């Protein structure tokens, strides 16, 4: 177990550090190419923070561990809402102003429903993966179009995204950070998949449960850091928007990769246990963010309830 545990921890460190360097390097490169700052914030930063989940699901699928990749996608969504936003709200209650957030909630629920329909027959086919990845490309195009179109009033979320971009850097430094970050992501993902599969075998757990728990929590650490940092800076919209965007990416790109690379049947528990929990938490988050006046708010009590839901769900996983 010791080498497997070290592989998990080492892979996690490389994933987090690699994602950070990759985002900074790619954002710097895009800036040198005169890409509009908002496009960099939406595309480069969005893809970069979801890169750990995408690579882990891809490596897991290529190794024939489709359940691990699927569990990582759904488990990351559950972790993002219950743990990331729960802990962030307990430490610093969140006020939500952005109109974008209120548009993304219905979109997120629609994508969840579509993914559930695709997997309802418990046969994750390559065509299902193609549809999900194609949806991811369309989502990016829509986000860029929506961000760049002229609007009567500025949107706080887009303003905060632009403000969070790293400062300009020389071309050589940007290229080096991109390459080092990508290497860290690839090596870290490979180590984490190897360690996760080994731990599952040693502990007698299914790959799905490992993906929903240990791997999901590990790959959600960049979202936790981004949300906590945003909340402490008073950028509450970006703290919540980061989670919603990540969850959309997880359902389309991360969930799509196992179906695309290694189609396989899925476990029944995914449909009656994990999907309902993910949908219920998203609906609860929507109710919390609904504005009572001009501003929605997630208070400390609601954050604590989200954390309790996370603990209860993880307990249910391991008891079963």
Q: In whole angstroms, what is the distance from residue 74 CA to residue 250 CA?
A: 7
pLDDT at position 37:
65
* Tokens matching residue 61: 């699928």
pLDDT at position 94:
82
Q: What percent of the chain has pLDDT over 70?
A: 84
pLDDT at position 291:
63
Q: State the pLDDT confidence band at 158, using cuts at 50, 70 and 90.
A: low
Q: In whole angstroms, what is the distance from residue 178 CA to residue 254 CA?
A: 21
What is the CATH number that goes with domain 2-319? 1.20.1420.30
| E strand or H helix at 248 | helix 236-249
- Tell me if 197 sits within 8 A of 64, measured CB to CB: no
pLDDT above 70 (res 41):
no
State the chain's mean pLDDT as an integer. Answer: 82
The larger pLDDT score, comparing residue 23 to residue 177, is at 177
pLDDT digits 0-9 by tens, 299-315: 889 999 999 999 999 99
pLDDT above 70 (res 164):
no
Q: How far is CA 318 from CA 78, 312, 313, in A?
A: 16, 10, 9
pLDDT at position 120:
92
Q: Which of 15-24, 35-44, 277-286 has the lowest mean pLDDT?
A: 35-44
* Tokens matching residue 184: 């860290």
Q: State the pLDDT confidence band at 147, using cuts at 50, 70 and 90.
A: low
DSSP track, 125-157: -HHHHHHHHHHHHHHHHHHHHHHHS--SS--HH
Q: In whole angstroms, what is the distance from residue 119 CA to residue 121 CA?
A: 6
pLDDT at position 12:
79
The larger pLDDT score, comparing residue 235 to residue 106, is at 106
pLDDT above 80 (res 187):
yes
> E-strand spans in 116-239?
123-124
Can you give the residue ranges of every domain in the chain? Answer: 2-319
* Other CB atoms within 10 A of residue 146 CB: 15
pLDDT at position 292:
60
pLDDT at position 151:
54
- Tell me if 38 sits within 8 A of 218, measured CB to CB: no
pLDDT at position 156:
59
pLDDT at position 295:
61
pLDDT at position 18:
80
Q: What is the mean pLDDT of residues 227-237?
A: 73
Question: Could you give the angle at which helices 126-148 and 99-119 cross, rounded to 10 degrees?
Answer: 170
């Amino acid at each position: 177990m010791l080498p497997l545990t070290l592989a998990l921890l080492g892979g996690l460190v490389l994933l987090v550090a690699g994602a950070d360097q990759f985002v900074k390097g790619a954002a710097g490169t895009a800036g040198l190419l005169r890409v509009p700052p908002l496009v960099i914030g939406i595309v480069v930063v969005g893809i970069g923070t979801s890169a750990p989940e995408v690579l882990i699901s891809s490596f897991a699928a290529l190794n024939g561990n489709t359940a691990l990749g699927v569990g990582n996608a759904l488990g990351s969504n559950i972790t993002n809402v219950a743990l990331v936003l729960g802990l962030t709200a307990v430490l610093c209650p969140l006020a939500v102003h952005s109109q974008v957030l209120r548009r993304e909630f219905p979109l997120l629920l629609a994508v969840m429903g579509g993914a559930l329909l695709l997997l309802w027959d418990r046969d994750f086919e390559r065509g299902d993966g193609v549809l999900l990845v194609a949806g991811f490309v369309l989502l990016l195009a829509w986000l860029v179009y929506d961000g760049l179109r002229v609007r009567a009033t500025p949107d706080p979320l887009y303003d905060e995204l632009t403000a969070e971009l790293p400062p300009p850097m020389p071309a050589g430094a940007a290229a080096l950070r991109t390459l080092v970050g990508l290497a860290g992501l690839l090596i870290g993902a490979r180590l984490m998949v190897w360690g996760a599969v080994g731990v599952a075998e040693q502990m007698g757990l299914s790959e799905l449960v490992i993906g929903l728990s240990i791997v999901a929590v590990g790959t959600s650490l960049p979202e936790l850091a981004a949300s906590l940092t945003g909340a402490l800076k008073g950028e509450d919209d970006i703290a919540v928007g980061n989670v919603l965007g990540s969850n959309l990416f997880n359902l389309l790109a991360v969930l799509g990769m196992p179906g695309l690379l290694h189609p396989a049947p899925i476990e029944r528990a995914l449909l009656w246990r994990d999907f309902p929990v993910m949908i219920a938490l998203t609906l609860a988050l929507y109710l919390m963010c609904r504005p009572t006046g001009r501003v929605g708010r997630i208070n400390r009590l609601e954050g604590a309830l989200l954390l309790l839901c996370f603990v209860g769900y993880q307990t249910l996983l391991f008891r079963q």
